[in-house]
Amino acid sequence: MQQKNLMRRTAIYCILFALTAMGVMLYYSANKIIVVADVAQDEVVQSQEGATGTETEAADKNHIEIDRSSQNTNYFCIPLPDTVKAEEVTIENHYMDQELWVSIAPKEIREQEQFYESHSVYGNCENVLNGHFEVEKERLCLRFALNDVYEYQSIFENNTLYIAFVPPKEVYDKIVVIDPAYGGEDNGVTAEGVQAKDITLEIARALKAKLDDTDIKVYYTRMDDSNPADESRVKLAAATKADMLVRIEVGGADSSKTYGTEAVYNSRFFIPGFGSVELADLLEREVVTAISGKANGLVEAAEEDGVLGEATVPAAAIKVGYLTNGQELILLQRQDYIERIADGIYQAVLKAYEQYLD
């Protein structure tokens, strides 16, 4: 008898679940609600730090009006022209710049420009500082400056894009910041035309390919030849409440005989259990193992180190070799060697979670 009652209740629950699911699908279908996927900054061409005079003039001229009087919704609401379809809209999370970009690839760009000369954005605008639009690469781009780093949840309905701003730690349990050193006019160590900034970037790209297949959310301070300020690199780790910041560096020395791998850590910021020393130790051990290299030990960050010295999360740099050493200069130009370095950093990150942060 009890078994029959159990089977009956199970059948009722299954029916109710199916009806609920069908109702949700019918609701979304009837209201034409479409979720718009967003693209992280590490997958798009990053904007260069600091606006040029032309960009500043464009921002002033193409200002988007923000109606802050209507706050009766949790969403930041962006109206779109009637001719725009959901598949023509892309959301880009430019987290290093603390900007939200909404790009539209319409057939008639000029008509879309005119639309934003007479239409304002509205809703929950407390995280939005200002906005402007510009035309670039055959698309209309709406750029909104934000007061912090956010992830987004978006819905496209009735030609309006609804965006909810969500702190990263409310979306992801595991967060890591990867910081390829140098960039832009800062080449780092240079030897025989080989620049350290290019090597750190190649390692970061190889590392990204590995970390993309994990449940770890990774933010990158740069994935192109830009050079974010030290303050911006540190701020990214703080804003995302990252579990760790891993900086990738290349060494140089007066003597060509100096070679090997070492890890630099922030000795001024101590966290019991898992801190900068533990992270540095993991990085050195795993990278040295991966490349079958020489370990030079752990080194305290210099006082003038603007990234490690100011970080408020466990932070360490892995110095992957010396360009001033002839043998390492050759190795650091080989893709298989880059892949092995990236694998070492990857293993260090995984072990940090396994051994300390689970």
Is the per-residue pLDDT at 21 higher than 70? no
Is the per-residue pLDDT at 80 higher than 60? yes
Give the per-residue pLDDT at 42: 85
Give the mean pLDDT of 225-251: 98
Instruction: Dig out the tokens for 118 from the structure.
Output: 């007479």
Residue bearing the bigger pLDDT, 269 or 77: 77
- Highest-pLDDT range among 33-42, 84-93, 247-256: 247-256
Give the per-residue pLDDT at 135: 87
CB 282 within 8 A of CB 351: yes
Residue 113 Cα distances to 52, 81, 117, 142, angstroms: 21, 10, 7, 10
Closest to 333 (Cα-Cα) out of 193, 204, 224, 231: 193
- CA–chain centroid gap for 73, Å, is 27
Is the per-residue pLDDT at 48 higher than 60? no
Is the per-residue pLDDT at 240 higher than 80? yes
Give the pairing of strands 139-146 and 99-104: antiparallel
Distance, in Å, from the CA atom of 326 to the CA atom of 331, rounded to the nearest integer, reads: 9
Give the per-residue pLDDT at 35: 57
Is the per-residue pLDDT at 12 higher than 90? no
Give the per-residue pLDDT at 38: 76
Give the pairing of strands 190-191 and 76-79: unpaired
Give the mean pLDDT of 8-21: 50
Is the per-residue pLDDT at 24 higher than 50? no
Q: For residue 74, how many other CB atoms are within 10 A of its CB?
A: 12
Give the per-residue pLDDT at 344: 98
Give the per-residue pLDDT at 70: 75
Distance, in Å, from the CA atom of 354 to the CA atom of 32, rounded to the nearest integer, reads: 43
Give me the chain's average pLDDT, please: 88
Is the per-residue pLDDT at 44 higher than 80? no
Lowest mean pLDDT, pick from 74-88, 237-251, 284-298: 74-88
Q: pLDDT per residue over 317-339, tens digit each?
A: 999 999 999 999 999 999 999 99
Give the per-residue pLDDT at 139: 87
Give the per-residue pLDDT at 318: 98
Give the per-residue pLDDT at 11: 54
Is the per-residue pLDDT at 46 higher than 70? no
Instruction: Dig out the tokens for 187 from the structure.
Output: 């080449």
- CA–chain centroid gap for 233, Å, is 11
Give the per-residue pLDDT at 7: 52
Start-to-end Cα distance in the chain: 45
Lowest mean pLDDT, pick from 28-42, 133-147, 196-210: 28-42
